[in-house]
Amino acid sequence: MKETLQNALDEMLTTGETIADDLITRIKAFGQIAVPRLIEIATSEELNHTESDDPRVYAPLHAVKILGELRAVESIEPLLPMLAWDDDDWLDNVFPEYFGHIGKPGIAPLERVLADATRTIHTQARASNSLV
């Protein structure tokens, strides 16, 4: 049976806190085709605010990780508002890795967040840590 992107993403939605390297590889094999769905999962209010005992709550974390590994520059702007999500501590760990994979294209957007005096100190700290 030929794997579809939807099958792989459905598996990611149920994998829980730890995602197998094999599943990451299978999703990354779809390349740019996977990016819009990964952005959708990463930014999903529903998934990000699912109960902590629901394995789907980890899907956005995995999606951000894979977007970074794909060096999906087009994901920067849709994910940037997540820097302001004060109630998601996991972002403090995953965003520096994500932006590290994205590289140079992520610098200017992060600098904009740092220079924006209307941003909270927490948001600016997250942006600063992502630049490091």
Tokens of 2: 């030929």
pTM comes to: 0.92
**What confidence tier does 1 reach under pLDDT thresholds 50, 70, 90?**
low
Work out the average pLDDT over 109-113: 97
Q: Is the pLDDT of residue 56 over 90?
A: yes
Share of the chain above pLDDT 70, in %: 98
Note the pLDDT tens digit of each residue in 59-80.
Answer: 999 999 999 999 999 999 999 9
